[in-house]
C-alpha cells in the first residue's frame, strides 16, 4: 500500500474541484486520507463528487465557489477552518480557456480568463496566506499550464494569465519564508472539459481532436500534486511540468 503519511489528515482546499484535474485530485487525496474541501461553480457535480467521497469513507466538505468572487474563495477557506480547524494545502486549480485569435476581439473571453485564471488565484492567496502565517505552516499548489511555456497562436490571453500566475507563484515562493511551501504544476494536454469553455467552434474542434489523440488522464496530474504534498515539511517541490509523452 502507498505510504500516505505525508497526506493523511491534511486539510486540502481545491478550487475547480467538480471535474477534470480538480476532481481527480480530490478523489486521490481523499483516498489517501486527506480531508478535502471542494469548491466549484456547478453545485450538482460538486454534490455528486462529495457524496462519492463520503460513501467510500472519505472526509469531505464543499461549497459552491466562483473564484471570480473574492468572498466565495474566502468562504471556502473559512469552511475548511470551521470544519477541520486548520488548512494545510490550497490548490488553486479553477481555470477556463476560451481561446481565440486576438483579431476576433473576444474581449469578454479575455476578461473571463483574467478573472478566473489570474484574479481567482490571487483571491486564493489572499484568503489562505494570513491563515498559513498564523499557523506557521501551509502549502500553495497553483495549477498553471504548458501553454505558458510553448507560445502558440490563439493562446495569447490564456498563456498570458498562466505566465502571470507563474511569476506570482515564484514571487510567493521567495516571500513565503522558511515555513510555507509553494508549488507550480504545469500540465500539458490533459483529458478535461476545459474545451467546454471554448467559444470558438473551430478552435474547440481542433483542441478536442488533439486531446483525443494524445491527452493524458487527469489522474496523472493528481499524482504529481500528491507527490508535492506528501514530501516532508522541509522539502518544497517548486515546479512540475507534466506532458503526454507524445506532446512536442
pLDDT in tens, 9-51: 999 999 999 999 999 999 999 999 999 999 999 999 999 999 9
Least confident of 2-16, 28-42, 117-131, 166-180: 2-16
Mean pLDDT score of the chain = 96
Q: Is the pLDDT assigned to residue 4 strictly greater than 70?
A: no
| Cα Rg of the chain, angstroms | 17
> To 10 degrees, what angle do helices 43-55 and 20-31 make?
20
Three cell numbers written together for 170: 515564484
Over the stretch 174-215, which tens digit does the pLDDT of each residue have?
Answer: 999 999 999 999 999 999 887 888 888 888 888 888 888 899
Question: Cα–Cα distances in Å, from 60 out to 46, 50, 177, 185?
Answer: 11, 6, 30, 24
Burial of 75 (0-12, 13-18, 19+ CB in 10 A): middle
Q: Is the pLDDT assigned to residue 70 strictly greater than 90?
A: yes
Q: Is the pLDDT assigned to residue 168 strictly greater than 90?
A: yes
Q: How much is the average pLDDT of 71-87?
A: 98
Contact 73, 124 (CB under 8 A): yes
Q: What percent of the chain has pLDDT over 90?
A: 89
Active site residues: 158
DSSP 119: I
Q: How much is the average pLDDT of 216-221?
A: 97
Would you state the CATH architecture of domain 11-188+218-229? 3-Layer(aba) Sandwich (3.40)
The residues spanned by each domain of the chain are 11-188+218-229
The per-residue pLDDT for 248 is 85
* DSSP characters over 5-23: TTTTT-EEEESSTTSHHHH
The per-residue pLDDT for 1 is 44
Amino acid at each position: 500500500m502507498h505510504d500516505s503519511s505525508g497526506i493523511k489528515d491534511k486539510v486540502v482546499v481545491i478550487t475547480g474541484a467538480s471535474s477534470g484535474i480538480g476532481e481527480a485530485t480530490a478523489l486521490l487525496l481523499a483516498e489517501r486520507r486527506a480531508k478535502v474541501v471542494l469548491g466549484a461553480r456547478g453545485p450538482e457535480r460538486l454534490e455528486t463528487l462529495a457524496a462519492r467521497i463520503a460513501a467510500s469513507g472519505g472526509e469531505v466538505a464543499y461549497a459552491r465557489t466562483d473564484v471570480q468572487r473574492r468572498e466565495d474563495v474566502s468562504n471556502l477557506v473559512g469552511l475548511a477552518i470551521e470544519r477541520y480547524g486548520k488548512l494545510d494545502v490550497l490548490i488553486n486549480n479553477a481555470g477556463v480557456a476560451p481561446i481565440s485569435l486576438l483579431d476576433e476581439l473576444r474581449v469578454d473571453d479575455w476578461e473571463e480568463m483574467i478573472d478566473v485564471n489570474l484574479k481567482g488565484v490571487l483571491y486564493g492567496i489572499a484568503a489562505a496566506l494570513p491563515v498559513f502565517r498564523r499557523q506557521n505552516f501551509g502549502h500553495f499548489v497553483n495549477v498553471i499550464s504548458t501553454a505558458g511555456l510553448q507560445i502558440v497562436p490563439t493562446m495569447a490571453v490564456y498563456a498570458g494569465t498562466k505566465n502571470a500566475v507563474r511569476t506570482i507563484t515564484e514571487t510567493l515562493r521567495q516571500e513565503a519564508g522558511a515555513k510555507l511551501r509553494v508549488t507550480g504544476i504545469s500540465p500539458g494536454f490533459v483529458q478535461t472539459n476545459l474545451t467546454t469553455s471554448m467559444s470558438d467552434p473551430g478552435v474547440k474542434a481542433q483542441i478536442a481532436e488533439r486531446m483525443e489523440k494524445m491527452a493524458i488522464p487527469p489522474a496523472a496530474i493528481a499524482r504529481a500534486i500528491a507527490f508535492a504534498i506528501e514530501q516532508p515539511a522541509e522539502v518544497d517541490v517548486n515546479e512540475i511540468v507534466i506532458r503526454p509523452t507524445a506532446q512536442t
